């Protein structure tokens, strides 16, 4: 997390506070059709009772071909920087980001894996238990899109029903006409995989924060709903207060996904 970022209470930076439910990139390119936080989730957050909950830190994993822009996407979001030079990721790396949603602290580990084949077996051991699977491809390189299904299979197949995204990067490199054409294909593929589609540019920053906020909100909501369902005692615990440092490998519980097709319009 950037040291210069203004910190608020609970050590959450000002620009990591989510008060409104972030919307999908495209309403026809998502299985997550809800428009607002679930009323039960809002009630749980308003209640704000302390205590421990089984849920630890949630985990997001980025996978995809070599050089599609996974590290750049993480660096743009976590550090607001962009590097034109390519430095291949060796094995895996991760960042920890703290958020506040509806005044409740929530922490996401963002795992950045290597696209190079020779690191695949290392990266694969980190897929397990991911709450969010993000398959990244390069909007300026059709071949990276054709590998999306395979990456999703590998990564999401090792997790328990994660929230799924297909993210096209380098939007700044494609003309509007080229974008329209590849977007159509990408939306079809994302839909067939039960994933939500996004198009971003780590160079300009376009849609990067919006994408991560969306991923965080869907993960948070699913985590709280699962806690409410499994505890049976209702929303009386505080969620997301555990901290980890690099090197820790917590055994994170997988979370249930919010039923798709629901539309929570209540305020």
Ligand X SMILES: Nc1nc2c(ncn2[C@@H]2O[C@H](COP(=O)(O)OP(=O)(O)OP(=O)(O)O)[C@@H](O)[C@H]2O)c(=O)[nH]1
Tell me the CA distances in angstroms from 221 to 106, 166, 184, one per residue in order.
11, 20, 29
Instruction: Choose between 92 and 222: whose C-beta lies nearer to ligand X.
Output: 92
Q: Distance (Å, rounded) from C-alpha 222 to C-alpha 90?
A: 32
Q: Do 111 and 58 contact (CB within 8 A), yes or no?
A: no
| 144 lines the binding site for Mg ion (CB under 5 A) | no
Least distance to ligand X from the beta carbon of 141, Å? 10
| 202 lines the binding site for Mg ion (CB under 5 A) | no
Instruction: Choose between 70 and 76: whose C-beta lies nearer to Mg ion.
Output: 70
Least distance to ligand X from the beta carbon of 195, Å? 18
Q: 3-state DSSP call for residue 58?
A: strand
* Neighbour tally for 169: CB within 10 Å: 28
Q: Which does 169 bind (CB under 5 to 8 A by kind): ligand X, Mg ion, none?
A: ligand X
| 89 lines the binding site for Mg ion (CB under 5 A) | yes
| 72 lines the binding site for Mg ion (CB under 5 A) | no
* Neighbour tally for 10: CB within 10 Å: 13
Least distance to ligand X from the beta carbon of 218, Å? 23
Rule CB under 5 A: choose which of 29, 60, 68, 71 binds Mg ion: 71
**What residues have CB less than 8 Å from 220, skipping those under 6 apart?**
41, 58, 99, 101, 104, 106, 240
Q: What's the chain's length in residues?
A: 267
27: left (phi over 0), alpha (psi -120 to 50) or beta: alpha
Instruction: Choose between 135 and 189: whose C-beta lies nearer to ligand X.
Output: 135
Instruction: Choose between 21 and 126: whose C-beta lies nearer to Mg ion.
Output: 126
Taking CB under 5 A as the binding criterion, the range among 11-19, 66-74, 101-109, 186-194 that sits at the site for Mg ion is 66-74
Least distance to ligand X from the beta carbon of 259, Å? 32
Least distance to ligand X from the beta carbon of 66, Å? 4
């Amino acid at each position: 997390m950037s040291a210069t970022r203004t910190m608020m209470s609970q050590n959450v930076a000002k620009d990591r506070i989510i008060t409104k439910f972030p919307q999908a990139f495209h309403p026809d390119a998502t299985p997550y059709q809800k428009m607002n936080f679930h009323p039960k989730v809002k009630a749980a957050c308003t209640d704000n009772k302390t205590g421990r909950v089984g849920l630890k830190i949630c985990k997001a994993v980025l996978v995809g071909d070599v050089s599609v822009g996974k590290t750049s996407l993480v660096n743009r979001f976590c550090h607001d920087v962009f590097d034109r030079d390519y430095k291949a990721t060796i094995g895996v790396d991760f960042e920890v980001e703290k958020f506040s949603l509806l005044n409740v602290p929530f922490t996401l580990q963002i795992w950045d894996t290597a696209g190079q084949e020779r690191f695949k077996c290392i990266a694969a051991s980190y897929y397990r238990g991911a709450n969010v699977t993000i398959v990244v491809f390069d909007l300026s390189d059709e071949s990276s899109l054709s590998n999306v299904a395979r990456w999703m299979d590998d990564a999401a197949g090792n997790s328990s029903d994660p929230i799924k995204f297909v993210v096209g990067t380098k939007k700044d490199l494609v003309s509007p006409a080229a974008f329209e054409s590849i977007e159509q294909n990408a939306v079809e593929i994302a839909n067939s995989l039960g994933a939500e589609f996004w198009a971003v540019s780590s160079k300009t920053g376009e849609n990067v924060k919006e994408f991560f906020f969306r991923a965080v909100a869907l993960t948070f909501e699913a985590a709280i709903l699962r806690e409410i369902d499994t505890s049976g005692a209702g929303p009386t615990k505080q969620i997301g207060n555990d901290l980890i440092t690099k090197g820790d490998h917590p055994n994170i519980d997988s979370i249930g996904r919010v039923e798709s097709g629901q539309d929570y319009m209540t305020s």
